[in-house]
Structure formats: structure tokens, C-alpha cells
Amino acid sequence: MRPIIDRAARLAQLRELLSYSPVVAILGPRQCGKTTLAKMIAADHYFDLENPRDLARLENPQTTLEKLEGVVCIDEIQLKPDFFPLLRHLVDHHPQTQYLILGSASEELIQKSSQSLAGRVAFLHLHGFDLVETGVEHLAQRWFRGGFPRAFLAPSDRVACSWLDHYISTFLERDLAEFGFRIPSPTMRRFWTMLSHCHGGIVNYSELGRSLQVTDKTVRSYLDVLAGTFMVRVLPPWFNNTSKRLVKSPKVYLSDSGIFHRLQLIGDLAQLESHPKLGASWEGFVINQIIRLSALPENTFYFWSTHTGAEVDLFWQQNGKNHAVEVKYADAPRRTKSMVQAVEDLKLDKLWIVYPGPDTYALDETITVLSIRQLRDIFS
């Protein structure tokens, strides 16, 4: 019997959105727990658009849906984009009913829903388990296996790796086609693997294009597909008023550390600890955790880098103050000239250096070395 992971914070977010919005959309990759979370609120009616029986029930969707009251949940809504105009009509004419829609493709879903449901829909972005949900005592397991529930909860690393391999293949061979993307799965697998080698680095569209023998425009479209299906995070650069030459291309991270490790063919923690991508893996894991724990819009976050070497891995503004994080896989990180420069140029109120060690300590009034075990302190 699998252990139960407490997702109380996400459930509270969902209930809050349902308290005022007629339509709530839970968006996230497949198998991240959207359906499980939705069922926790005990919807009065549930439709899964991948279930032939439910599709048959919705053959005449208006006739079926307009008779229902309470909370109506529609899973995998991106498979029926023509439902969005109908939902707008139902919301406006049947205010006694609320709709909880679940989707696995963000860009298309948001675009269609924002056009049809403007002012009527609230979004909850859901990923796999975060570090708070799994507990810091399972840090190594969460880092290596990633956040997908079936991978994290697998009885062994070997089973987790097997599940992730199957997930990658299914995503490439079935899911992309269902989402409407006509890209050959071998081509996208190669591109995804190439991105895993760029994980934590600046995107070089021309170099990727040459390797794939496609144009820069095609590379950008492939990247948009992976970002729009929650497989990749594209982190934009921050521009500030400075005379320094700044890096203006985005960084790329794979969204799930488990998938990153499988694309790099890393089979267990021992292999990870001796792998050349160890530091990049840790950086991506920490950055994704911070963004998910923040409860801030994902487009709030940036990185900052100059051509002379000064940089911070993550930068954001909150409550009128500037904050930044530098990620280090080290035993005892120290203040560097780059950090001091970043504090000065970005006018930082706080700079945290996140590392895997157990202790948290200040290096000066602005710079603090923070154990990943206290990651929530950044936003407390």
C-alpha cells in the first residue's frame, strides 16, 4: 500500500479559488496528481474525456451539462477545446453550477480559456510533489526521482527509473499527438535530450539548430512545445538600468529532476554524485522548488548575468523589494565578488545562497547561506 502524501496546501488553494470563481482550471503535466487533487473536493459530477463512456455521455454536451448543479469536474479539457464557449454560456446562465477543469497543455489551454472565459476562470498550476509535501527527510529521494507521484513513491530507484522511461516514451509517442503537435517522436526525443545537456545553461538556438539540422525558428517552436506541456522551464533574463553588458538570452531547465536524470541516463544517486551534471542538477532542482513554494506567478522570476561574470541564478521582486538566490552544491559556500556585485547592481534586499548542508548562517547583513531544509524561510 502506497503512503499518502499530504497535499493540504494545494487543496486549500483549490478550495479558496472555488469559493469565488465559477471556473477553476488546474493545469499541470500528466500524472502530476491533478485528478487526485480534484477528487479530494468531492465534485458532484465527474467527466474524464479520455474515458469512452464519459465521452458518450457528453455527445450532446449542452443538454448534459446544463441539467447539472454543484461542482462539475471535466478532466483533460484540452481534448475538447470547443467546450470553452459552451462553458462561458453555462456560467452566465446557470450560476448555481461551478466547473473544475483539468488540463495538461498550458499554452493552448490558457489561450482558449482566456478568450472564452475572460473574467470567469482562475488558475491553479500543479506540478509533482514539492519538497514540503514529501518532507526534507526524503530530500535525496525527491531530488533523484523527481516529483511525479508514481516515481517518488516507487518501491525502489530501479522501479522509479523504469516508470520515468515509460513516461518519457508515452509523452513523446502519444501525448504530443493528442495535444495537436505533429513532431516525430525521435526528433523530439533527440531535442529533449540535447536540452538536458543545456540544463542550467543559456539557450543557444543556432547551436541547437545546427545539431538538429533545422532553423532557429523550428528550435524555438520545439522549445515552446516542451514549455507549454510543462516539461521545460524557460527562465528569462532580467534587465536593469546599468552600463554593464548583460546576457539577454534565456536559461533552460528541465522541470522535473527525475526526467532530467533519465535523459542523462543516470541510474541511481551514486551515479549522480559522480556525474559532470551534478551541479546543474542541483541548481535546477532548487530553482524549481523555490518557484513552486513561492505561490507567486511563474513569470515573476528571472536570472541575471553580465558578460563579465557577475550573476545570480534567480531574481524576483516582491513587496517593493529585490530578492535573489544563488545555488551552490558545496559544503560551506562563501561570499564571492560576483555576489557582492549582484547585491550592488540589483540593489538587493536579500541574497540567499542555497546549499545542501544542514546549517543556515549569515555572511553579512544581506547575504545568507541557507540550508535547503529551510527553503520555506525565503517566503515566510
**What are the structural domain ranges in the chain?**
8-125, 131-379
Calculate ∠ Cα 103-234-243, nearest 5°.
Answer: 145
Burial (Cβ within 10 Å: 0-12, 13-18, ≥19) of residue 152:
buried
Judged on CB neighbours under 10 Å (0-12, 13-18, 19+), 289 is buried
CATH class of 8-125: alpha beta
Please, are residues 23 and 92 in contact by the beta-carbon 8 Å criterion?
no
Alpha helices in the chain (DSSP H): 8-18, 34-39, 52-57, 61-65, 83-93, 106-116, 131-134, 139-145, 149-152, 157-170, 176-178, 185-198, 205-212, 216-228, 257-263, 269-273, 278-294, 337-346
Question: Per-residue pLDDT for the chain (380 aa), expressed as one digit of tens each?
Answer: 455 677 888 999 999 999 999 999 999 999 999 999 998 888 899 999 999 999 999 999 999 999 999 999 999 888 888 888 899 999 999 888 999 999 887 656 666 676 778 888 899 999 999 998 999 999 999 999 999 999 999 999 999 999 999 999 999 999 998 888 889 999 999 999 999 999 999 999 999 999 999 999 999 999 999 998 999 999 999 987 666 778 889 999 999 999 999 999 999 999 999 999 999 999 999 999 999 999 888 899 999 998 888 899 999 999 999 999 999 999 999 999 999 999 999 999 999 999 999 999 999 999 999 999 999 999 97
Q: Which residue has the cell 526534507?
A: 136
CB-CB contact of 157 with 319 (8 Å): no
For residue 60, count other CB atoms closer than 10 A to its CB. Answer: 8
